[in-house]
Chain A
């Protein structure tokens, strides 16, 4: 039964809210977006370094040689993959493609799984 208006909870208990797959894709889109924004200054610095000299350029290549930094890069790869895939899903939905519930749930799963697979591939390549 639907709760009468006015009795809506003011304080949301996160442990009692159900998170459908679309909500998880959506919150992942936000979290990955924040992560990518934090990476932006580093990207600007990397651009600067990459153009200074061949040695600096090659030094950027060796970034994954330390496990700690490789792990950070895997996180960035996940963030970029999830953000792009979930974002593409939003853009398609804006155009009315796949906005029906069943399709939207399928594409949410697809975005989450695909981003996970890409991050896993990066982890296998850089962390092994």
Chain B
């Protein structure tokens, strides 16, 4: 499991945390300050070139942050190498699938939006 170890993992965990905090603050400001989010406004925002890219970045940051966190937890509590490999492999697969799925979702709407 030599995927993001030691100081690099530590830095990535913090960097993605800050990115996610900025996303959260922006989303909270948009939802709390503005009017009730309508479908039209959400669709226009999410499928705009910047919005679509930002959403993919958001999910990539979530997956990366989640990977480092769950990896620490699995390594702390599960000790047999085979169990670790199986569980971490499965989690990595699901996380990669989620990011690809989100990218495909955004790509689909992006092409129809223009």
Please give the residue numbers on chain A whose beta carbons come within 8 Å of chain B beta carbons, in ascending order. 30, 33-34, 36-37, 40-41, 43-44, 47-48, 50-51, 53-54, 57-58, 84, 87-88, 91, 94
Contact = CB atoms under 8 A, between A and B. Distances in A.
Interface centre among B42, B55, B105, B109 (most CB of A within 10 A): B105
B102 interface: yes
A94 to B, nearest CB: 7
Chain A contact residues: over half helix, strand or loop, or mixed? Answer: helix
B interface residue count range (under 10 / 10 to 19 / 20 to 34 / 35 or more): 20 to 34
Contact of A51 (B63, B94, B105): B105
A40 B98 contact: yes
27 contacts: A30-B73, A33-B66, A33-B73, A36-B66, A37-B66, A40-B59, A40-B63, A40-B66, A43-B62, A44-B101, A44-B105, A47-B46, A47-B105, A48-B105, A50-B42, A50-B46, A51-B42, A51-B47, A51-B105, A57-B39, A57-B42, A57-B43, A58-B39, A87-B17, A88-B21, A91-B14, A91-B18
Contacts of B18: 91
Contacts of A30: 69, 73
B39 A54 contact: yes
Contacts of A33: 66, 69-70, 73
Given A30-B73, A33-B66, A37-B69, A47 B102 contact: yes
Given A33-B69, A58-B39, A40 B14 contact: no
B96 interface: no
Nearest to B113: A51
